[in-house]
Amino acid sequence: MDRLISGQTTCNSVEKRSNGDSNLDNSISNAVRDKLRLMRDIIEKEDPASKVTDDATLLRFLYARESNVEKACEMFAKYRKWRQTCVPLGYIPETMVCNELKHKFVYIQGYDKVGRPVMVLLLARHIACQSNMEDFKRFVVYAFDKMSASATRGQTKFSIIADFADWAYKNVNLRGTIAAVQTLQDFYPERLGKIYLINRPYIFWAAWKIVSPFIDKVTRQKIVFTDDKYVKETLLKDIDENQLPEIYGGKSPLVPIQDCVVPNWPPVTSS
C-alpha cells in the first residue's frame, strides 16, 4: 500500500456518501438489495437527513442484525442519535483528545492482505489514572473514525493488534475498555475484522473475566489469542512483511495515529 514520505502512512479517502446502490458489491443478492431499499425507505421517512448515508453503511447495520430490517433500523436510529449527541461536528478534532494522543499508544500501521487498515495498541503506554473517562471515550471515537476512513476502496473493516507487553496494574482501565467494546459493537457494526491479543501477562486473565461478559458472540469470533512464541508467524499469515511493524519482525516503522495522513480527513461536514 501507499506510503507517504517522512514515514507517514497514506490511507484512502473517507467513505463516499451517495444515493442508490452503486457503491455496493455486485455479489450482493437481490434479496439483500430489496431489504436494503426497504431499510432506506424506513429510515429516510423517520429522519430525512439520513438520506446522505451511503448504502455500504446501511448494509453494515443490516448484516449486524442478521438481515432483520426492523432491528437494523432500530440500531441505525440509535447510532444517528448517538452521533448527533456525542459527535456533533461529525468528527472528533485532535484538540479534543490531545491528552490521549500525547502518550502515543495508538498507531495506524499499514494494511493486511485483504486491504483492512491495521491499528496497533501499545497498551503499556496508557496510564489509567492519567486518563479522564470522557476524554478517553472521545479518543475511542476519534480512533475508530480515522481507522474507518483509512480503509481501502471496497473494504469497510479494520484489524487491531492489541499488545499487552509490560502491561501492569497501572495500565488497567476496565471502565474504559468496556466503554470501547460497547462503542465498537453498538456504533461501528461490522467494522472489526480481527483483533490479535499478543504478549498477554498473567493479570490479563483477571481483567478478561470482568470484560469478557460485555463482548458479544460476533466480536468474540474475531478475537485471536496469539501464542507468544509465534507472534510474528501468526501476524504474517494475515499481514505482509512490508506492512508489519518492525517491532514484530516486519519492515514498517510505527506511525502514531495523529501522524497518519488520511485524504479528506477530517471529513467535510455540512453546516
CA 5, 11, 14, 16 dihedral sign is positive
With cell 492519567, the residue in question is 130
Give the model's pLDDT for residue 109.
Answer: 85
Give the model's pLDDT for residue 3.
Answer: 36
Query: For residue 188, is pLDDT > 80?
Result: yes
Query: For residue 12, is pLDDT > 70?
Result: no
Are the C-beta atoms of 110 and 252 separated by less than 8 Å?
yes
Q: What is the mean pLDDT of residues 172-186?
A: 97
Joined grid coordinates for residue 224: 485471536
- Which whole-number Å values give the CA distances from 198 to 42, 164, 229, in the listed order? 43, 6, 10
Q: Which percentage of the chain shows pLDDT scores above 70? A: 89
Q: What is the mean pLDDT of residues 205-227?
A: 97
The whole-angstrom separation of Cα 241 and Cα 151 is 19
Residues 6+ apart with CB under 8 A from 32: 59, 62, 67
Give the model's pLDDT for residue 263.
Answer: 81
Residues 6+ apart with CB under 8 A from 77: 43, 46, 47
What pLDDT, in 10s, does the model give residues 82-133? 999 999 999 999 999 999 999 999 999 899 999 999 999 999 999 999 989 9
Are the C-beta atoms of 42 and 73 separated by less than 8 Å?
yes
